[in-house]
Structure 1
Amino acid sequence: MSANAEIITMLTCLAEAWNAGDATAYAAWFTEDADYISFDGTHTRGRQAIESSHRWLFEGPLRGSTMSTPDSDVQVKQLADGAALVISQGGTAVDGRRRDSIVTFTAVRTPEGWRFASFQNTRVTS
């Protein structure tokens, strides 16, 4: 499988973990020292903190929310061997209200396979 296909598969796995409300599975796709910046500018550092914050979200305000799987507009730009920039449409739905975003990731090849070293979410406003 190509690096681009593996990265797109990771995006699908992230959405599946989100939709299952599984914070551990969601965080597993990030490096141990990942940087995670949410739509409101909150900066979470590290896989454990990403897991912890998502567990709180999935058990609380985002319980039952859904995340869309990647569409055909995913852009994967190889930056170097083992590093890529990923730009994708994203979004979640909470209580039937859709919240669209543009998301960016830095994907890196690790001994565990490809993982995300950074994430940034920008809400689409119109």
Structure 2
Amino acid sequence: MTSDHPVPSEAPLRERLRAALKAAMKARDRGAVSALRSTLGAIDNAEAVDIGAVKAGALEDSPVGLGAAEVRRRDLTEADVEDIVRREIEERRTAAAEYVRAGAVERGDQLIAEADALTALL
């Protein structure tokens, strides 16, 4: 995947993933787009606040006003983001092996290509 404006390898991983997504979309690389979107979604999900951490109470105790009920999302470190990407890669490689074992070699190859697209960004 190439881009008109390459992101330096020392840029944060999330930034590199987003840049790679734009390039993959431009190149119409469906496998890379799928892998990058789902990985960025996994990162976003990891930032979500645990519903158990939010106080539940009576309606009359609820905050009032625009944004009053907003809860700050979790801050992920670069290492956290990298761990998520590595898990996404491992899940794809594991699933690919299962598909190949089941005789669905083409689907297995697609998952390996997705894993390779993610690995290239680490």
Q: Smaller-chain TM-score range?
A: under 0.3
Q: Answer with 1 or 2: which has the greater Rg.
A: 2
Answer 1 or 2: which has greater helix percent: 2
Answer 1 or 2: which has greater strand percent: 1
Alignment TM-score, normalising by the size of structure 1: 0.25
